[in-house]
């Protein structure tokens, strides 16, 4: 009898230690967009690097990838693939946490850049992204360059 009790106790201890401490599921916050934005902002000042995925250098799609991964959402690695996620959002319905997509090359309809909305009001939309000139920084959609390059917005978080 004591051996059976010891075995059960050992099993329970194992489950408590390894079953809970090694859980890989991250609890999603009640307002996950705040954590997405906070994660993106933690990269502010990181230089732009094409194909970069770290704090040593990061591109726009990796910034989106890491920011959404922080709330347990796995996103594709490229802006073009990310632009297929979630649902379409009208410009006047954009809110923090939504994704913005841009065409910054000669191909005016092809997604080549992405950013995460950090603030949205009737007068303007602020977003964070990794630009080739400034690295990770925030900008406004009203900026003539970004306004002209803007294609559409998508909502991944509900």
Catalytically annotated residue among 12, 22, 66, 129? 129
**Do 67 and 116 meet the contact criterion of CB atoms below 8 Å apart?**
yes
**Do 139 and 116 meet the contact criterion of CB atoms below 8 Å apart?**
no
| Residue 42, token pair as written in the block | 């933690």
| Beta strand ranges found along 4-149 (DSSP E) | 53-54, 57-58, 87-89, 99-102, 113-120, 125-131, 135-140
Task: Confirm whether 129 is a catalytic residue.
Answer: yes
SS3 at position 17: helix
Catalytically annotated residue among 12, 22, 66, 113? 113
SS3 content of the chain, % helix, strand, coil (to 5): 35, 25, 40
CA pseudo-torsion sign 128, 130, 131, 137: positive
Catalytically annotated residue among 12, 22, 60, 66? 60
Task: Confirm whether 60 is a catalytic residue.
Answer: yes
**Do 129 and 60 meet the contact criterion of CB atoms below 8 Å apart?**
yes
Task: Confirm whether 12 is a catalytic residue.
Answer: no
Residues annotated as part of the active site = 60, 113, 129
């Amino acid at each position: 009898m004591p051996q059976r009790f010891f075995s059960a106790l050992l099993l329970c201890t194992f489950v408590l230690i390894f079953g809970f401490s090694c859980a890989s599921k991250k609890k999603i916050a009640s307002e996950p967009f705040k954590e997405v934005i906070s994660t993106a902002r933690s990269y502010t000042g990181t230089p732009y690097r094409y194909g970069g995925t770290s704090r040593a250098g990061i591109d726009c799609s990796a910034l989106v990838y890491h920011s959404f991964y922080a709330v347990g959402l796995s996103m594709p690695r490229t802006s073009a693939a990310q632009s297929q996620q979630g649902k379409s959002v009208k410009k006047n319905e954009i809110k923090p946490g939504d994704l913005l997509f841009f065409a910054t090359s000669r191909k005016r309809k092809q997604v080549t850049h992405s950013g995460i909305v950090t603030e949205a009001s009737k007068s303007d939309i602020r977003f964070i992204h990794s630009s080739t000139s400034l690295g990770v920084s925030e900008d406004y959609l009203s900026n003539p360059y970004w306004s002209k390059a803007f294609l559409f917005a998508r909502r991944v978080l509900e």
